[in-house]
Structure 1
């Protein structure tokens, strides 16, 4: 009479053991992925230094490595700090200093010039190049692999989102949504969604990641399309004033702006899926009554 119970108990034990094995394998697989991601970032790029003989003429034809005068660079950097950087705090002081001195990555410089050309009507900027010319130069440099630093490449994808020649109803490779998802793909490759190891790059990595999240939420709401980033996969700490050691006022502005974008992203998901988890509802309530 106890046989059915024994069989049921044995089956339950076996199922529990099987579930543990599956969980252990799954955990091991995720740990392996994390380890592989860390190891991959320690390897040097396979791309040879410099451009190939076929790539160089293309870059030169678009004047990709040409910088404006020092006075124009000064005006561009000041405009960037005033109009662009508060919403996309993607560059640190050293990046800006090198752009100002004309010693930075040409790709990073052209991307900054592009962003500023969308918000500035300075005659010095217009005399040097148009918005489209800045964009073409940055695009050529990006796709020829001129820049080997993945962090700079991600910074560039964020700034190139200032160039948005058509509405979302058009299918183009130049829209902000395209560059956003290119940047998100690179960010996942280098682990920006992970909490960085404390060091000189930790703040800029967090600022880059949360800039992508903010842009993702805005573009999702504006275009009515799914977000590229699932925050359930993110382990990075939320931005704090300590991530803005040289610009506390900009830090306060960005943190508030980011919170609004994040809530907008949740609400957009809710409208699209007609569902909002209780944890997200609580998050929204706490943020609204903070």
Structure 2
């Protein structure tokens, strides 16, 4: 079913409803932004709550449980929603029945009449059913919520509020702010006196429902059919005796509580199958024979196949593509998870190594070589840039890798021999150019890894001036395509600009730490001048980022933005926010204009990418902390995208009129959010200005 995105919030004041514009009431509270700007009273009319009728239409399923003859089975799987919380299969698990008190509504994946009964060839003989399982390891999307930009922005606002210790809501989900390159660096810029925690809890917004089609598929795969109660007890006992002592990865008290209360069928299904898989090695023959298997191997194979695909290359491809998924429901770090899965599979298959390292490998075709290079270096590209975006450690160490660098031919080999009509109908006309741009991105990714290793690793040593200049020289020598290349179709022009956005983000990562640091062997007399030059270079890269986005907007190319695009804007926004510390009023206003332009770009990107809403909420909170009277940046009425630069040039913000007292509080707040692990440690430079 196709869902339509909505860009208006259900909660709106009377004036915004009459004007039919989006109201910021849900995010900023009363008064909303529109009424504040109009200097009008913000009147909110309470909305009548509609009663929701629940219809129970059970889905009857009869299937042969296969080799598991004595098993729990699912007779009734109604598709209605009930209010039960979801327990995610993570190291931090909520207890049964612990619901988020402020959650709109949560749903269990499976619901039905509780009861006890064991199915033997379809006949109830007395074992509990797996029909109330809240934890099947699947978290579908609540379509009604996905189009609500106000709530997406509020997600970023909640993260920022929790980081500052100002949250009024109880957090359930562990959150790590991202070390030195995480998105919440915008908050670190704002407080020089106190160190913010890097780990904190944020409210959960998970909403789990399971469609009839998904439920039927899982039934057919046997995922919802557990072994008999006696076999489950034997498997759990074997696990706790033989596996848990050497690999204590689960919370024993939780699973034993479920077992003791006869609710093992409500435990996380994915995790439960994993436990059983590990335990099969230690059960007696009577157990697997009772379940209809001839050996432990057969039983393990069945359990393993129930939740996994078998083609490893397909799994790598799927994992990389799944990394494009970002949701506001505690899943904005899903790209990090899926990329890690792809990297693990690549390394497991040896795609990080050259298949021809010792001699030409006749068993590998040229087509396979090209595919393997693409898979490995795409995983590498995602590893580097997601590490920068989320402030996470790099997973790939190139010292362990000797897979040759990719070439444009690796990408083009698949289209050789295609019929011209097919090629023209489905492939971009500039594919050869796009292939060369991709190779350039891989080169920039290698340099980014070197920058992160030199500037941001927690156990790093300070570089020498020679090491810094050598890396800077390599980066400056990167061959970039000309921004003024003619004859390109619009998609290719966007990708050309996208390469330059990566390059400017790379330069910012290189220069910004050295506003407060210096190479270990730099002469003391030269330090101030050297640091000042690093500041100028970082600021120049941030300004060029704005210029590139300006060009994208003016040329109508922002519609081609991908899920990685918002993250490429963040380093520039952090730099603009940091440079707002300048004592010069004109510099402050210019940086504010550039930051507000970035906020407008994020507002446009958030219509497609939830992560842009998160970033925008974080920066809005940071701007509010700098100047409490600032209220123009959050959920304003829709802007015509082509008018972004023009409006910015003439915009007047609360920042332009902040008082001296507010400037003093700005310095205090910005400093307290910067500690030794902040992204770009620049504060000492400004304190000395």
TM range (shorter): 0.3 to 0.5
Greater helix percent: which structure?
1
Structure of higher RCO (CA pairs closer than 8 Å, 6+ residues apart): 2
TM-score by length of 1: 0.46
